[in-house]
Amino acid sequence: MTQCDKFIKRIFDIIVSFIGLIITLPVILISWLISAVETSSNGFFIQKRVGKNGKLFNVIKIKTMRKVSGVNTSVTTENDVRITNSGVFFRKTKIDELPQLWNVLIGQMSFVGPRPDVPGYADVLTGKDRLILSIRPGITGPASIKYKDEEALLAKQEHPESYNRNVIWPDKVDMNLSYIKYYSFVKDVNYIWKTIVG
């Protein structure tokens, strides 16, 4: 990815995220209210994620899960007892992702790129794999599209956390490295389109 590629990508992110926030603000506010009522807490889910150059930032999403005593894993399956009734709908329709438009607008994320993970994954990559940290994490991307049914896949595994770390995560790393190496703006637009219609 050249400096010119990064510049065009950033301009696109700023313009589209700004327009997107204006259009979806009513949906975000209504979803926030529903989530706040159902979880009896702030309807926004705010969590530290690993961003560009390994710098931590607060990702913002609509809260789709409630706290359940004894359940502390960061890996989520489709039958996770923590997912709220509204959360099932928000996750299926991707409405929970809309607040991330703010993360994109202020430069913490991009529309397309590696998904921002919790500490313990991208930040501990070594060697050539750390190339992934050279770009902003994204709302969607080739790995996100391939694993759009990740929660259902993990629900079928006897040990979801182990499967995620030893099978899914290495595959995502390879896909994200390939995304950077063979980057094109046209592919970015295609990934966004696939995410919307898929």
pLDDT tens-place string over residues 69-128 = 767 666 777 677 889 999 999 998 999 999 999 999 999 999 999 999 888 888 888 899
Tell me what pLDDT residue 46 has: 96
Q: How many CB atoms lie within 10 A of CB 77?
A: 18
Instruction: Give CA–CA dist 93/23, Å, rounded.
Output: 16
Instruction: Give CA–CA dist 60/113, Å, rounded.
Output: 17
Tell me what pLDDT residue 10 has: 96
Tell me what pLDDT residue 78 has: 66
Tell me what pLDDT residue 114 has: 94
Element (H, E) at 28: helix 3-39
Element (H, E) at 56: strand 56-62
Give the contacts of 99 (CB within 8 A, at least 6 positions apart).
28, 44, 60, 61, 62
Phi/psi-derived region of residue 48, left when phi > 0, alpha when psi is between -120 and 50, beta in every other case: beta
Q: How many domains does the chain contain in total?
A: 1
Chain segment 143-169, per-residue pLDDT in tens: 999 998 888 888 888 888 899 889 999
Please state whether beta strands 110-112 and 138-140 pair in parallel, antiparallel, or not at all (unpaired): parallel
Average pLDDT score, the chain: 92
Residue 139: give the domain boundaries.
3-197
Chain segment 178-191, per-residue pLDDT in tens: 999 999 999 999 99
Kindly tell me if the per-residue pLDDT of 66 is higher than 90. Answer: no
